[in-house]
């Protein structure tokens, strides 16, 4: 389990295979050693997006619920697996559901608390709810590598590329898990590319790919703006530095994250009004503008949120937390 938590999935998988051959994890023995192996199974399944395997491990751990506290890890593993198949919004809904079900249970140890907050922040960042991500990260100690990585991710999705690069470069291997080292390389690669530093971006991308293969971690690529990383991968291939285009394109469409352009105040007001009224004429009257102006603002909203119609824009903006923050009182 230590290797699985650290991010050395390949080595953890090898150990589990040895235990399985010895018959140590097939029949529950209901002790902490067996529970640790079962938790490791869930964490490894997470890397493969195998929700069924995570659920199976969670059920097997149920008899130890009174004297072993596995739910923070199993909840995270379940949501992380969902992210790889259905995307960050679905994973965030799943995580919130799990946390609400556990409301009122005994207080979490601070490390588990920080892990869950950092993961929740990552999911909010991926769907564009940057304000919520900022609020969550404010509750995690800044001197920890996980918080620095998530702040770099937040800056990258906010298109603050210089800040993202500075934050990512400030995370060192010493004191970081293997999973965090991979996250750091990917963030440096994406931010350096966005800052116009292709050589540094290519080198970081090569290092990230090597770490991913060495440790067997595939989920890190899901936490980056897909379009940005794909352009980087294509440029790296064209420069004959490294070919990882297939690795990036393997991310399912539903699981791809994007950088959304911020909406102007008028665009937010227009989207809020269209949610209430449903037609451009009523919105024009409320905002004291022409119907043509309403349509112009809506077109900008669709483009920035990467949607094609009003309903999709409302759903996307709600997921991002934008409409909730701009709805009028009452």
Rounded (10°) CA dihedral 319, 322, 325, 326: -130
- Other residues' Cβ atoms within 10 Å of the Cβ of residue 10: 15
- The residues facing 257 across adjacent strands are 225
Rounded Cα distance, 269 and 272, in Å: 5
Rounded (10°) CA dihedral 170, 173, 178, 183: 20
Task: Specify the pLDDT at position 37.
Answer: 87
Residue 175 reports pLDDT greater than 90: no
Q: Is 31 left (phi over 0), alpha (psi -120 to 50) or beta?
A: beta
Say what percent of the chain tops pLDDT 70.
91
How many Å from the N-terminal Cα to the C-terminal Cα in the chain?
A: 50
Maximum Cα–Cα distance for the chain, whole Å?
A: 75
Rounded Cα distance, 318 and 15, in Å: 44
Helical H runs in 170-262? 178-194, 198-215, 226-238, 245-249
CA dist 289 → 263, 275, 279, 285 (Å): 18, 17, 14, 7
- Write out the two tokens for 204: 């970081």
Contacts of 270 (CB under 8 A, 6+ apart): 283, 287, 294, 297, 298, 301
Task: Specify the pLDDT at position 260.
Answer: 86
Q: Higher-confidence residue: 68 or 199?
A: 199
The label of the residue with tokens 């800044």 reads 142
Residue 163 pLDDT level (bands cut at 50, 70, 90):
very high
Mean pLDDT of 257-276: 92
Rounded Cα distance, 256 and 243, in Å: 20
Contacts of 65 (CB under 8 A, 6+ apart): 71
Task: Specify the pLDDT at position 109.
Answer: 67
Residue 142 reports pLDDT greater than 80: no
- pLDDT, tens digit, for every residue of 60-85? 887 776 666 667 888 899 999 999 99
Rounded Cα distance, 210 and 49, in Å: 21
What is the three-class DSSP state of 257? strand
Q: Cβ distance 321 to 312 under 8 Å?
A: no
Residue 188 reports pLDDT greater than 80: yes
3-state helix, strand, coil in the chain (%, to 5): 70, 0, 25
In 3D space, the residue among 263, 197, 176, 192 whose CA is nearest the CA of residue 224 turns out to be 192
Residue 291 reports pLDDT greater than 70: yes
Rounded Cα distance, 217 and 209, in Å: 10
Computed over every residue of the chain, the mean pLDDT equals 89
- pLDDT, tens digit, for every residue of 80-126? 999 999 999 999 999 999 888 776 555 666 677 888 899 999 999 99
Task: Specify the pLDDT at position 66.
Answer: 61
- The residues facing 225 across adjacent strands are 257
Residue 322 reports pLDDT greater than 70: yes
Task: Specify the pLDDT at position 146.
Answer: 87
Task: Specify the pLDDT at position 133.
Answer: 92
Rounded Cα distance, 119 and 79, in Å: 9
- Write out the two tokens for 14: 């090898």
Task: Specify the pLDDT at position 25.
Answer: 62
Task: Specify the pLDDT at position 327.
Answer: 46
Rounded Cα distance, 297 and 293, in Å: 6
Q: Cβ distance 187 to 206 under 8 Å?
A: no
Of the ranges 100-104, 142-146, 198-202, 269-273, which one carries the lowest mean pLDDT score?
A: 100-104
Rounded Cα distance, 22 and 19, in Å: 5
Residue 329 reports pLDDT greater than 50: no
Rounded Cα distance, 203 and 189, in Å: 8
């Amino acid at each position: 389990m230590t290797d699985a938590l650290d991010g050395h999935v390949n080595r953890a998988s090898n150990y589990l295979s040895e235990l399985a051959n010895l018959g140590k994890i097939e029949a529950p023995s209901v002790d902490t050693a067996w529970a640790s192996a079962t938790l490791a199974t869930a964490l490894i399944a997470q890397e493969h997006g195998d929700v069924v395997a995570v659920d199976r491990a969670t059920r097997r751990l149920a008899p130890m619920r009174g004297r072993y506290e596995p739910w923070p890890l199993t909840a995270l593993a379940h949501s992380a697996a969902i992210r790889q198949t259905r995307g960050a919004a679905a994973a965030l809904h799943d995580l919130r559901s799990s946390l609400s079900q556990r409301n009122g249970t005994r207080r979490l140890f601070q490390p588990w608390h920080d892990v869950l907050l950092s993961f929740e922040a990552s999911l909010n960042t991926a769907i564009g709810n940057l304000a919520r991500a900022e609020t969550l990260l404010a509750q995690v100690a800044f001197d920890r590598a996980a918080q620095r990585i998530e702040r770099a991710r937040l800056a990258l999705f906010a298109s603050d590329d210089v800040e993202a690069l500075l934050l990512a470069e400030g995370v060192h291997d010493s004191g970081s898990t293997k999973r965090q080292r991979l996250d750091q390389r990917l963030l440096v690669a994406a931010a350096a590319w966005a800052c116009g530093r292709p050589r540094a971006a290519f080198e970081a991308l090569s290092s990230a790919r090597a770490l991913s293969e060495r440790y067997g971690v595939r989920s890190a690529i899901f936490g980056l703006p897909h379009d940005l990383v794909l352009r980087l991968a294509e440029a790296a291939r064209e420069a004959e530095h490294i070919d990882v285009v297939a690795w990036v394109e393997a991310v399912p469409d539903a699981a791809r994250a994007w950088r959304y352009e911020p909406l102007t105040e008028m665009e937010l007001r227009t989207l809020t009004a269209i949610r209430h009224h449903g037609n451009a004429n009523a919105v024009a009257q409320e905002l004291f503008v022409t119907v043509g102006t309403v349509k112009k603002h809506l077109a900008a909203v669709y483009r920035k949120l990467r949607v094609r119609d009003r309903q999709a824009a409302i759903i996307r903006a709600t997921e991002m937390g934008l409409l909730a923050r701009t709805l009028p009182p009452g």
